[in-house]
A and B are shown apart, each in its own frame.
Chain A
Amino acid sequence: MLGAAFLYMGIHKVLDPAEFLRLVRQYDLTNNSLILNTLAAALPWFEVFCGFLLVTGIAVRGAALVTLAMLLPFSLVVLKRAIAMASTQGLAFCAVQFDCGCGGGEIIICHKLIENCGLMLIGIWLLFCRPQKLALRYSLFGQA
C-alpha cells in the first residue's frame, strides 16, 4: 500500500514537473533556485523508485526508512503552511484546502495529514515485520 501510494504520487508529479516546481515554491523553503529546482526535479523520480522497490519487495526495510525520511519532513512543512493559511484567511484548520504538491490536486489538509500518518505507521511496521514470501529480495544483505 505504501509502495503503491508513492508510485502513484511520484508518477503524477513526473508527468508535470513544472507544476510540481510551482507547488514546491509555494512553501518558500529556499531562495536558492538550484536547491528548489533539484528538489522539484529529483523528488518525483525518487518517489517512483522507492514505490517500485516497495511494490516489488526489494530492500523493503531500507525503502521504508527512506520513505519515512521523506514523509515526516514533508508532513511538517504541509502542516506549517496549513496553519499559516488558517491564520491568514481566518479559517478553521480542517477547512483549509490547497494543492500540497502531493499528487492528486487540491486536498483538505486534515485528510492529507491523517493519510500521511497512516502511511508513516505502515512504514514503521515494514521496518520490523518479517520478510514476505512474495518479495523479490526483502533485504539487500540476506537475512536481517
Chain B
Amino acid sequence: MVKPSAKSVFREGIIIALVGAVLAFAANALSPKGLNLKRNYFPGDDLATASPSPSGNQTTTNGLINVPVTEENIVARLKAKGLQPLGTSEVKKLFDDIRYQQSSLIFIDVRSDHEYEEGHIPGAHHFDYYYPQNDVGPVVAACQPAEQIVVYCGGGKCDASEQATLMLRDNAGIAANKLFLYTGGMTEWKEKNFPVETGPRNSGKLMDSSHGK
C-alpha cells in the first residue's frame, strides 16, 4: 500500500472544504428552494421561557426537544407566547360561520405548495412559510379587512403555523387579537372527515371524504 503524506492529504482536505463551501453557498443562492441565510425562520424560539409541562420535563428554547407532544403542552406553549390556539371543534364552527363566506373571517394554510394542492381547508388562502416571497403579499392584503384569521399547518409537531402567526403579528403588523392558530392542523381536519379541497384555492374540487386522510 502507498503511504500517503499526511500533509498532502490535509492540504487536499482543506482545498476540498474551501471549494465545497463556495459551491455550496453558490448552489443555495441559485436554487429556487435555497434558504435565506439572514432570515430568522423560528422567531418563536427567541422567547426562551420554560413552557409548563405536566411531566415536569425541562424544555429547550424551541420547546420541542425532549417534550412529549401533547395538546396540553402545545396549547400552554402557544399561550405563553401570547397566541390564541383553537381546537378542531372551534375551527369547524368558524368554517361554518357565515362570515367565512363574506371574507371577514379567513383561513391561511402555511404548508408547502405541494401539500396545499394535495388538500386544504376549502377556501383557505396559502403561502409557504419557508418561501413566503411568492404569495405572502396577497395573503397579508386579505388579512387587513378580516376580523378573524385562522392559521394552520399539518398539526402535531408542525410549528410552521406558530412561526407564521408570529411573523404576521410582528412583521406584517396584523393585530394579535385577530390571529388564531388551529393546533390540530390538516391532520385532524382530515381525520374528522371534514371537507377538503384539492388544487388551487376555490377550485371547487372536494376530496372524497370516504378516503379519510
Q: Which residues of A contact B (CB under 8 A)?
A: 14-18, 21, 25-28, 31, 33-34, 36-38, 40-46, 49-50, 53, 59, 61-63, 65-66, 69, 81, 84-85, 88-89, 127-131, 139-141, 143-144
Q: Mark B1-26, 1 if CB is under 8 A from A, else 0.
A: 11111001111111111011101110
8 nearest A-B pairs in the assembled complex, by CB-CB distance: A62-B12, A45-B24, A18-B130, A65-B13, A42-B24, A33-B40, A144-B4, A41-B35
Q: Give every chain A residue within 8 A of B27 (Cβ-Cβ).
A: 14, 45
Q: Which of A33, A34, A37, A65 contacts B12 (CB 8 A)?
A: A65
The distance from the CB of B45 to the nearest CB of chain A, in whole angstroms, is 7
Is B103 in the interface zone, CB < 8 Å from A? Answer: no
Q: Which residues of B contact A (CB under 8 A)?
A: 1-5, 8-17, 19-21, 23-25, 27-28, 31, 33-42, 45-46, 48, 57, 60-62, 64-68, 112, 130-131
Check A37 against B35 for contact (C-beta < 8 Å): yes
CA distance A44 to B23 in the complex (A): 11
Q: Give every chain A residue within 8 A of B17 (Cβ-Cβ).
A: 66, 69
Check A88 against B57 for contact (C-beta < 8 Å): yes
